[in-house]
Structure 1
Amino acid sequence: MDEVNRALQKIARGTGIVFLGTVVSMALGFFTRALIARSLDRTQYGVFSLTLTILNIGLTLALLGLANGLPRELSRYKKEEPEKVPELVSTAFILVAAGSSLTAAVIVLAAPSLSPIFNETLLPPTLRIAAFSLPFWALSMVLVSVSRGFGRVREKFYYQNIVIPLIFLILTVLAVFMELGLSGIFFAYVFSQIAGFLILMFETFRLRFLPGRLVFRPELAKELFLFSFPLMLTGILGYIMNWTDTLMLGYYLNSDIVGLYNAAAPIARLLPIFLNSAGFLYIPIATAFFARAQLKEMKRIYQIMTRWIFLLTFPLFLFMFVFPEVTITTFFGAKYAGAATALQILAAGFMFHTLLGLNGMSLTVIGETHANLIGNFFAALANVALNILLIPVYGIEGAALATAASFIVANIFRSGWLYRKTGIHPFSRSYVKQLSTGIGMIVILRIANVSASSVWGVLGILVVFCVTYLVLVLMMKSIEPEDIDLLSAVEMKFGVNLNKVKCILERFR
């Protein structure tokens, strides 16, 4: 078995674990959000969304880009200077501990000043409560990044994806049952982050990923900071792309509209689930290929992973894009049905982000972090400008258009830069066949004006559609040898017999 197949199988196994954890995490998060949205009025739910938006921006500043930079640097140090790995880990931990504590203090002090900006008196008290979760949240993410640098996914799966969201859900149920209101929900949020961090810290010490005695090395801190700083700025710009719509809806309109929009936005953000799951182990594995100047093999991995990511994401996109009203009302209730058109627009933007593959992570692998920064800068600039122009006229649909456009701009730039530097692109012949077939079938569905009034009706239509799509993909002979090898890896991992499936695929190669 060649190196590409071994790398693909390792990524696939890791992707399966991360994906399962992500699905569980999103299911818990969705159930929690739905519970909060149904127990509060739309204005209070809007305040909840605004508070988390500001907290997420604070998290990006507090992490200093290390959540994305640390796995790559650990992978490099393990090969070149393994004796410095413990010092690298402890230096990163101390940097984020200091940065997150400072950021939390700034949020607490700045909370009263944010109230008049968003015309919302409930915002300062919720921000003061939520800010206390920031150091624990940031340090948990650093510990997960350390385990990722060591090629492990268990810490992300068990602790970040399951333990913390589950604790938050349980505490939220108690807060709703005891009628503690919005403040009670945020206290639940803080306690869940503290508990998750303590459990993860214990596990990290047990695995000896974190030294028993923390040391700070200024030279390592400088190196980490210089590499990760563009990633931090990229992350800030990414959050501008993701959250400017929420913030500017609060500024131009009101919390009620923010609550309505934030029924559509979390659903659309489900679309990159397979992309992000695959990317968890892609960076350390692709870094090893790049370090050996094996760009041809790296390109092959990129194309195959992108094709599988699209194939898995497509049914989810179809559900949101063709049946947006049923999708929203199923999760959030009839009072949020007005966000259906916004969901369609957002889904199109996030699907474009997904179909171009792991372009941003590949730029990180080849050391072109500034390219991500430049791409996100122009996209964020476009997002802000479009929100200013479109929200006063079109409301939540204008906000959705601005966000979708910014993701399209950013991904075109990243993919163009990656191709110029390495020749890597996602468009193999098999992938073009899959894309054209999927787009054609969506056009047919829209022209035929297929509709359903219940989620069960929608699922029935989707099953028929997906089966037809897979048959067409097979008939177009878009199966490649690596697809068969990936199924063999699934057989070995889970002990299932897929010989019949492999035989069918072999006939259509």
Structure 2
Amino acid sequence: MLLVDRCWLFAATLIITNINEQSFTINYQRKTNSHLSKLKQLAGETILYGLGSMLPRVLNFLLVPLHTINMFSKAEYGVITKLFAFVAVVNIVYMFGMETAFFRFATKAKADVKRIFNLTQTTVIIISGTLSALFIVFAQSIATALGIPEHPEFIIWLTALMLIDALVAIPFARLRLEKKAFLFAAIKIANVILLIALNFYFLKIAYDPSVGVGYVILANLIANALFVLLFIKVLIAWRPAWDKQITPQLFSYAYPVMLTGVAGMINEMFSRTMLDWWLPKDFYPGQSQEDAMGIFGACYKFAVFMNLGIQAFRYAAEPFFFSNASDKNSPALFAKINHFFIIVCCIVLVGISINLDILKYFIGSDFQTGLEIVPVLLLAYLFLGVYYNLSVWFKLTDKTHYGTIISFIGVVITVAGNYFLIPIAGFMGSSLAAFLCYFGMTVFCFVWGQRYYPIPYNIRAAIVYITISFALVYIVNAVPIKHAVLAPVFHISVLALFTYLIYKKEKAYLMQSV
């Protein structure tokens, strides 16, 4: 996956490279320098957060061949996909939107950051602790509902995993607020190195068939326990806190963010589960619904690399947007950021999609039949990233309930799209439903956002770049090159030329003052 990692990092450093090349000119453009410095800072932090989120996932991707080649069956991998989809959704409730609330309230004028930390951490611990107790009590019932009645211990392990994630969510957020991106990255990378080591140990040395896929859960649980050790001083320094005035405001601000997150995670994760519900029997000859879900989950891993870059950007951008909200030129700055964000995502879309002939070897041959969905899912994630950028308006205006409305519109589109398209197109139907969902959310967010917090986005340029990128993928993939050396050389050359042309076209705009 080195190609994917380099694709993201090369694209993300495009801004920094351009800025450094023009350092002499910037010395004579003091106004321009201010905004370029902010762009450079944001790009630099994005790269560091990328190392903290993308590089671990790239390393984590090494587990896919371990899990899918001569280890777990397609049905067993489908169970893993289902369980971690469950975790992803519940984790949002555990954290209750308090990360975003922490940024919002900690960046207000004269805010006491330490007190805001204690207040948000207290809320997260109360909510996650209560839910964890309920999950443990009803572990058997939940296991039965998820199709693993013989393994209620899996639910207990997953509950412990989610509780740990919740405990360290606000400490991680504070690192982001304090711009300690390097420390953030180091902790994340250490976690994944341990995770990989544990997977190899459990699956290759200490494997017991009676535990099976449970080893994947145990490895994640033990690896995430490292977070508690690394944040032990912060967690010990925390003091339970409640403020009659601020705490209700935190809840009021955060619960729509939480609902938005739940809806968004349902859109992202449950499309995989819907294959199990609505895929007709024998739609894929010789494949059960569980097999199909396993194949879809494995191929989905490639598309997740777009989301990783988006997540890295969000880690840097969320505190950045809040910190720069008072700048009178911030709308123009936010528009410029979104413009280059879309360009980077387009480069990633092309880079991954035209190199699937190489990347496919990272999953078992039985799982490769679903690779056609990857370009569509990458496009879907691109629009999800644009939506996150556009969503800054309701976070800065404290109208977070609009995020909830938009996300639930997305849920409706997801469910309806999967219901109608899976029986017709199988994997591709579910992928198209994801695209329609995120595209629809982007449109609604843009229309409402322009009413309450106008930002001069370059919509025409965005449409042109996205259209050209997606068309280029299918044009290049339509050229059959079976030679093992010539094919990757051709594809990488196309990506390099595409990136260079964008560089030449956008260089002047990047240097302009906003």
TM-score by length of 2: 0.83
Measure the CA separation in 2 of the matches of 1:380 and 1:280.
24
C-alpha deviation, 1:71, in angstroms: 1.6
C-alpha deviation, 1:214, in angstroms: 3.9
Aligned position for 2:6: none
Measure the CA separation in 1 of the matches of 2:274 and 2:152.
18
Measure the CA separation in 2 of the matches of 1:310 and 1:61.
30
Contact 1:71 1:149 in 2 (8 A): yes
TM-score by length of 1: 0.83
Task: Give the counterpart letter for 1:363 in structure 2.
Answer: F
- The alignment yields a C-alpha RMSD, in angstroms, of 2.9
Query: Aligned in 2, Cα 1:473/1:151: closer, same or farther, shift over 3 Å?
Result: closer
Query: Aligned in 2, Cα 1:386/1:122: closer, same or farther, shift over 3 Å?
Result: farther
C-alpha deviation, 1:213, in angstroms: 3.9
Contact 1:69 1:224 in 2 (8 A): yes
Is 2:237 aligned against 1:237? Answer: no
Deviations 1:208-254 (A, max 9, x none): xx845443334332121111111000000001101121222234463
Greater shift in the superposed pair: 342-351 or 102-111: 102-111
Measure the CA separation in 2 of the matches of 1:357 and 1:132.
29
Aligned position for 1:91: 119
Contact 1:46 1:258 in 2 (8 A): yes
Residue 179 of structure 1 aligns to a residue whose secondary structure is coil
Aligned position for 1:290: 325
Aligned position for 2:419: 388
Matches within 5 A, 1:308-327: 308-322=340-354, 324=356, 326-327=358-359
Is 2:408 aligned against 1:377? Answer: yes
C-alpha deviation, 1:420, in angstroms: 2.5
C-alpha deviation, 1:302, in angstroms: 2.2
Query: Aligned in 2, Cα 1:13/1:119: closer, same or farther, shift over 3 Å?
Result: closer
Quick one: higher RCO (CA 8 Å, sep 6+), 1 or 2?
2
Matches within 5 A, 1:313-352: 313-322=345-354, 324=356, 326-327=358-359, 329-352=360-383
C-alpha deviation, 1:201, in angstroms: 3.0
Measure the CA separation in 2 of the matches of 1:88 and 1:255.
45
C-alpha deviation, 1:191, in angstroms: 1.2
Measure the CA separation in 2 of the matches of 1:227 and 1:334.
47
Query: Aligned in 2, Cα 1:470/1:357: closer, same or farther, shift over 3 Å?
Result: farther
C-alpha deviation, 1:334, in angstroms: 0.9
Aligned position for 1:480: 508
Is 2:394 aligned against 1:363? Answer: yes
Task: Give the counterpart letter for 1:257 in structure 2.
Answer: A
C-alpha deviation, 1:289, in angstroms: 3.2
Greater shift in the superposed pair: 300-309 or 402-411: 300-309
Is 2:284 aligned against 1:258? Answer: no
C-alpha deviation, 1:23, in angstroms: 2.3
C-alpha deviation, 1:260, in angstroms: 0.8
Measure the CA separation in 2 of the matches of 1:391 and 1:122.
30
Measure the CA separation in 2 of the matches of 1:463 and 1:27.
19
Task: Give the counterpart letter for 1:400 in structure 2.
Answer: S
Aligned position for 2:102: 70
Matches within 5 A, 1:431-442: 434-435=465-466, 438=469, 441-442=472-473
Measure the CA separation in 1 of the matches of 2:483 and 2:389.
35
Q: Unaligned regions of 5+ residues in structure 1, if any?
A: 486-509
C-alpha deviation, 1:326, in angstroms: 4.6
Is 2:500 aligned against 1:465? Answer: no
Matches within 5 A, 1:31-180: 31-38=62-69, 39-76=71-108, 79-82=109-112, 85-115=113-143, 117-121=145-149, 124-159=152-187, 161-177=188-204, 178-180=206-208
Aligned to 2:274, which of 242, 245, 248? 248
Aligned-residue identity in percent: 16
Residue 151 of structure 1 aligns to a residue whose secondary structure is coil
Contact 1:15 1:277 in 2 (8 A): yes
Deviations 1:94-133 (A, max 9, x none): 2111211222233334443345555454664422322111
Greater shift in the superposed pair: 227-236 or 8-17: 8-17
Task: Give the counterpart letter for 1:277 in structure 2.
Answer: A
C-alpha deviation, 1:451, in angstroms: 3.4
Aligned to 1:277, which of 308, 312, 317? 312
Query: Aligned in 2, Cα 1:30/1:426: closer, same or farther, shift over 3 Å?
Result: farther
Measure the CA separation in 2 of the matches of 1:53 and 1:466.
33
Task: Give the counterpart letter for 2:507 in structure 1.
Answer: I
Measure the CA separation in 2 of the matches of 1:110 and 1:425.
51
Query: Aligned in 2, Cα 1:250/1:131: closer, same or farther, shift over 3 Å?
Result: farther
Aligned to 1:227, which of 253, 256, 263? 253
Query: Aligned in 2, Cα 1:347/1:257: closer, same or farther, shift over 3 Å?
Result: same
Q: Unaligned regions of 5+ residues in structure 2, if any?
A: 1-29, 280-288
Task: Give the counterpart letter for 1:101 in structure 2.
Answer: G
Measure the CA separation in 2 of the matches of 1:29 and 1:326.
18
In the alignment of these two chains, the number of paired residues is 469
Measure the CA separation in 2 of the matches of 1:423 and 1:363.
11
Query: Aligned in 2, Cα 1:186/1:133: closer, same or farther, shift over 3 Å?
Result: same
Query: Aligned in 2, Cα 1:123/1:49: closer, same or farther, shift over 3 Å?
Result: farther
Task: Give the counterpart letter for 2:433 in structure 1.
Answer: A
Greater shift in the superposed pair: 65-74 or 318-327: 318-327
Measure the CA separation in 2 of the matches of 1:464 and 1:106.
55
Aligned to 1:401, which of 432, 440, 451? 432
Measure the CA separation in 1 of the matches of 2:459 and 2:143.
51
Residue 58 of structure 2 aligns to a residue whose secondary structure is helix
Deviations 1:376-430 (A, max 9, x none): 1101111112222233443322222222211111111112222232321431787
Residue 173 of structure 2 aligns to a residue whose secondary structure is helix
Contact 2:387 2:441 in 1 (8 A): no
Residue 133 of structure 2 aligns to a residue whose secondary structure is helix
